[in-house]
Amino acid sequence: MDLNYSADDRAFAADVRAWLEANLPKELQAKVLNHRRLAKDDLVRWHKAMAAKGWAAPNWPQEWGGTGWTPTQKHIFDEECARAGTPPILPFGVNMVAPVIMRFGNEAQKRHYLPRIYDCTDWWCQGYSEPGSGSDLASLKTRAERRGDKYIVNGQKTWTTLGQHADMIFCLVRTDPEVKKQEGISFLLIDMRTPGITVRPIVTMDEDVEVNEVFFDNVEVPLDNLVGEENKGWTYAKYLLGHERTGIAQVGRSKRELEFLKRVAAEQQVGGVSLMQDIRFASKVADLEIELMALEMTVLRVVSAQAQGKGPGPEASLLKVKGTEIQQRLTELMIEAIGPRALPFHVESFEEVPEGVEEGKDIDPLAAYYFNFRKTSIYGGSNEIQKNIMTQMILGL
């Protein structure tokens, strides 16, 4: 593909940048650029603003609110959003369950759920992983027994991101325990307000509650909430994971964070010399920048193939592995750059700067940012599993 931007592409980038400058609330931008935690209201507020503009789901078909942009324009849009420091559009609804509903759901499901996903009427979470069923997801044990016009669901999901805020959860459940494990799984859409659902928080190393355990105790789910065919959920799960892994690469955000790293390192003095003038540290940054440039070219090839009607294949695993490795390396170098400033761990600083404390001198939220990014090589399918997929499907070994 032609990687040079046309005049139209440059004009498009200028339009996106101008709109973001005029409409991105400064307080939300400051939270993102300074690595602070975003509240539910922050995320919903920005999602609704993007939906009102018509930009909440650029990858969707136009009939459901997609933009009709070219792959290059979508890439430019992602870059401009990352550069500006916009809050993320959470992927669970827009980029994960919505493509499954579009591809495998019935018309009633499309008409009901897709508009509510688009404008963030419903906040979605993912019910995949279970204790003992993470990388080996097909070994899941949560059961859904069909009784009349409903399923009765019992079991447990874990690592459910932001499940404490969710209105809906899309779940993989076992509907036939007698067949090969991949062949007895179904894909259900479950209202989180249904009696019998309990959400229990998991406090992570950065002292945040981002992930949860979700328990199902005789939860009644209408048959109408089954997506596609019973016992075909593994096919839909793999389709969804392809979309998730492609999005995990986060090239635009990593480019922004690379510039942040360079600024932080330039401000640090080692023996009277800027850290960025230290050849050992500068070589680490240069190596990382080269890796990021290579990843960006790979992403462009994948999105170009998608524009030709080809779904994300094993290349998505490559994007997931390299993208998360780069993200983790960035946070490692940030901690190395700020040195002793990483030691104080002021939880209140993740929300706002405490009174009487100087930001960037007395406190720094980068330690929590580093801790949070330890998980990226695990979610969406661990990197070790992704390497096995690439070995089998790309190398043919």
- Name the β-bridge partners of 146: 151
Domains and CATH numbers, the chain: 7-89 (no CATH), 123-232 (2.40.110.10), 249-393 (1.20.140.10)
- pLDDT: is 272 or 288 the higher one? 288
Structure tokens at 310: 């080809």
Q: Contact at 8 Å (CB) between 204 and 211?
A: yes
The whole-angstrom separation of Cα 326 and Cα 37 is 21
Q: Poorest-confidence range of 87-101, 184-198, 306-320, 342-356?
A: 342-356
Helix orientation angle between 279-307 and 251-267, rounded to the nearest 10 degrees: 170
pLDDT score recorded for residue 6: 86
Active site residues per annotation: 244
The whole-angstrom separation of Cα 235 and Cα 90 is 23
Structure tokens at 34: 């300074």
What average pLDDT does the segment 60-84 reach?
92
Neighbours of 63 (CB within 10 A): 9
> Residue 143: is its pLDDT beyond 90?
yes
CA 95 to chain centre: 9
pLDDT digits (tens, 9 = 90+) for 290-314: 999 999 888 877 766 766 666 666 7
Q: Contact at 8 Å (CB) between 46 and 217?
A: no
Spell out the residues 6+ positions from residue 30 whose beta carbon is closer than 8 angstroms to its own.
Answer: 36, 85
Judged on CB neighbours under 10 Å (0-12, 13-18, 19+), 132 is: exposed
What average pLDDT does the segment 208-215 reach?
94
Phi, psi of 2 (to 5 degrees): -80, 115
> Residue 39: is its pLDDT beyond 90?
yes
Q: Contact at 8 Å (CB) between 306 and 298?
A: no
What average pLDDT does the segment 127-136 reach?
88
Cα–Cα nearest to 142, from 204, 210, 95, 196: 196
DSSP result, 236-294: HHHHHHHHHHHHHT-HHHHHHHHHHHHHHHHH-EETTEEGGGSHHHHHHHHHHHHHHHH
pLDDT digits (tens, 9 = 90+) for 320-347: 889 999 999 999 999 999 888 777 666 6
pLDDT score recorded for residue 346: 65
- What DSSP character marks residue 40? H
